[in-house]
Amino acid sequence: MGGPPGVAVGSSKHRLVLVLNESRPMAAVDWYHALERLQQEGIVESFCVVPYLARLNSSLTVDEIADEVVAGAHEVRADIVLWAHTQGLHSAANCAARLRSVGVAAIGYWDGDWYHPYRNPFPGECLALCSVSDVAFVQGDGLLVGLLHRAGCEDVRYVPASTDDRFVAQPARSEYDWDLVMIGNRISSRLPFKDMPGAILRRKLVRMFERRLGNRFAVFGHGWTGASAQGPVDYEKQAEAYGLGIASLGCNNWFTRYYFSDRLPIAMASARPSIYYQGEGYDEVFGSDAGVFWYRDLDTAWKQFLAVSADPDAALERAERARNIAVSGFTTYRTLIYMLDVLAAHADAETQGVAVRPVPNPWISRSTL
Please determine, for residue 6, whether its predicted confidence score (pLDDT) is greater than 60: no
pLDDT of 2 above 90? no
**143 and 216 housed in the same domain:** no
Helix (H, G, I), strand (E, B) or coil at 300: helix
pLDDT over 90 percentage in the chain: 90
3-state secondary structure of 343: helix
pLDDT value, residue 241: 98
Give the mean pLDDT of 48-76.
95
State the helix-helix crossing angle for 197-213 and 298-310, rounded to 10 degrees: 50
Residue 9 clears pLDDT 60, i.e. is over it: no
The whole-angstrom separation of Cα 227 and Cα 213 is 10
- Identify the pLDDT of residue 4: 40
- Average pLDDT score over the chain: 94
Q: Quote the pLDDT of residue 248.
A: 98
Query: Looking at the domain assignment, is residue 366 inside a domain?
Result: no
DSSP element (H, E) containing 51: strand 44-51
Q: Do 322 and 246 share a structural domain?
A: yes
Instruction: Please report whether residue 341 resides in a domain.
Output: yes
Q: Are 206 and 156 part of one and the same domain?
A: no
Alpha carbon dihedral 88, 220, 251, 144, in 10-degree steps, equals: 0
Asked whether the predicted pLDDT for residue 1 surpasses 70, the reply is no
Same domain membership, residue 111 and residue 192:
no
| pLDDT category of residue 362 using cuts at 50, 70 and 90 | very high
Q: How far is CA 38 from the centre of its chain?
A: 19
In sequence order, the β-bridge partners of residue 135 are: 108, 155
pLDDT of residue 5: 37
Asked whether residue 298 falls in the same domain as residue 203, the answer is: yes
Q: Is residue 171 part of a domain?
A: no
Task: For residue 7, tell me if it sits in a domain.
Answer: no
What's the total number of domains in the chain? 2
Mean pLDDT value of segment 346-362: 96
Bridge partner residues of 109 (DSSP): 83, 136
pLDDT at residue 7 is higher than 60: no
Between CA 83 and CA 92 the distance in angstroms is 9
- Which residues, including other chains, have CB under 8 Å from residue 93's CB and lie 6 or more apart? 125, 128, 129, 131, 132
pLDDT of residue 32: 97
Residues 296 and 317 in one domain: yes
> Is 251 part of any domain?
yes
Average pLDDT rounded to a whole number, residues 61-66: 94
Q: Are 273 and 293 in contact, with CB atoms under 8 Å apart?
A: yes
> What's the pLDDT at 12?
67
pLDDT for 301: 98
- Please give the Cα distance from 62 to 55 (Å, whole number): 9
Average pLDDT over residues 5-9: 43
249-264, pLDDT tens digit by residue? 999 999 999 999 999 9
Do residue 107 and residue 217 come from a single domain? no
The parent domain of residue 125 ranges over: 14-162+331-352
Contact yes or no for 4/329 (Cβ under 8 A): yes
Torsion from C-alpha of 247, 253, 256, 260, nearest 10 degrees: -40
Q: What is the CATH number of the domain that holds 32?
A: 3.40.50.2000
51 part of a folded domain:
yes
pLDDT in tens, 173-198: 999 999 999 999 999 888 777 789 99
**Is residue 326 pLDDT above 50, yes or no?**
yes
Q: One-letter amino acid identity for 80?
A: I
Query: What residues contact 4, with CB distance under 8 A and at least 6 apart?
Result: 328, 329, 334, 362, 363
**Percentage of the chain surpassing pLDDT 70?**
97
Same domain, 318 and 344: no
pLDDT average, residue stretch 105-116 = 96
- Residue of 84, 35, 90 lying closest to 65 (CA atoms): 90
**Residue 124 sits in the same domain as residue 239:** no
Residue 120 phi, psi dihedral angles, 5° rounding? -155, 80
Pairing of strands 80-84, 217-220: unpaired
Report yes or no on 168 lying in a domain: no
Evaluate if residue 8 carries a pLDDT over 90: no
CA distances for 227 relative to 142, 205, 210, 217, angstroms? 37, 14, 7, 8
Examine the domain organization and report whether 64 and 153 are in the same domain. Answer: yes
Average pLDDT score over residue span 229-244: 98
Per-residue HEC secondary structure of 151-180 comes to CCCCEEEECCCCECCCCCCCCCCCCCCEEE
Enter the DSSP assignment of 352. Answer: H
Q: What would the mean pLDDT of 34-63 be, rounded to a whole number?
A: 95
